[in-house]
Structure 1
């Protein structure tokens, strides 16, 4: 290990990562302090903002669910279209299901 050296670029990357983490923690701390102050000074305003954030997150969740559902339907339709193309290429068409046969033989 005595021969191993750390390049300057690696040291710079580690420094940048540390810098970004410290800034993020600082911003989070500042945000918490600000929200605490708002809670004490303007309780009604704070509650209104909190409700708006909750509504936005719920509507975003619903929107993501709807988009995923539409995507699933689109995939199903694409698969169905692909199967239909293959059936046409083979000259086979969809058939109606047959009625199950009754037990054969005299009884």
Structure 2
């Protein structure tokens, strides 16, 4: 019998789900490990939102934006993630992430302002 969402939440809370750091890697081999109910694009966009929220390292933005595009996300959808999380994570996090995401999408903001 398949685990219910309650079973999965309990396992995650107790760290019993066999969830490893590698399970959350953005590469294709681990993209969908133990993620059963959302598609790859939604997962990639959620990971990008989480990266914005924690103020991730600059190289990570490129890696996760690439993963989102590879999963079918458009540049507009990725920017929507920035806009959508702004009221939750705060303006400083979004402002810090915007240039990194722009670079990942092939848009040099420094050149746009220069």
Q: TM-score, normalised by structure 1?
A: 0.22
In terms of fraction of residues, the more helix-rich structure is: 1
Query: When the two structures are superposed, what TM-score results if normalisation uses the length of structure 2?
Result: 0.21
Structure of higher CA gyration radius? 1
